[in-house]
Amino acid sequence: MKKLILLTSIILFTLAACQPTAEPVDIETEKEAILKVIQDESEFARDGKFEEFVDLYIHDEFNTRLNLGTDSYEITNGWENIKASLERIKDRDSTSYKSINVSKENPTIKITGNNAWLICDNIWHGTYEGEEVYNDNLQITFLEKVDGNWKISFAGWLNKPQPDDDEDIDEGEEE
């Protein structure tokens, strides 16, 4: 009986030791893939590519969008609600937006297994209908890796504080 227990233990130990190990993750490659997702998201929204846009998101009840302005905020919970609020992208005349450039700058990305978060400057600049456009806010995005692809599970945009006009006056200068 002892021999049977010993033999069984050796077999189980050997089988456990022979299990394939997970491939090491190339963090830089994953970061590049994440940056591509958030860049594509903005460009698809700008260009009216609705189907490509929605494919970048997790389609579940936990997906959330946050838009935080200087005086208000909007939280949209659940994919069906998010999708309904974004339907306007389908009807957008994207030719009006073609001269707007989108850049993601100063990214900080943390990857933990199949989850990641990112914070970056989200800058839109160019012209829209003949008018100069410049918007620089903070983007916070959480992503999950699904079937080998990064998908957005939370996206938030926060306006950066703007300096008061009074701050432009040099100290000691009279008004």
The per-residue pLDDT for 70 is 84
Fold annotation for 26-161: Nuclear Transport Factor 2; Chain: A, (3.10.450)
Give the mean model confidence (pLDDT) for residues 124-153. Answer: 94
Q: Could you say which DSSP state residue 38 is in?
A: H
Q: Where residue 93 falls among pLDDT bands split at 50, 70, 90?
A: low
Mean per-residue pLDDT over the chain, rounded: 84
Question: What is the residue extent of each domain of the chain?
Answer: 26-161
Is the per-residue pLDDT at 175 higher than 50? no
Is the per-residue pLDDT at 94 higher than 90? no
Q: Where residue 39 falls among pLDDT bands split at 50, 70, 90?
A: very high
| Residue 143: closest CA among 38, 26, 25, 5 | 38
Q: Are 140 and 110 in contact (CB under 8 A)?
A: no
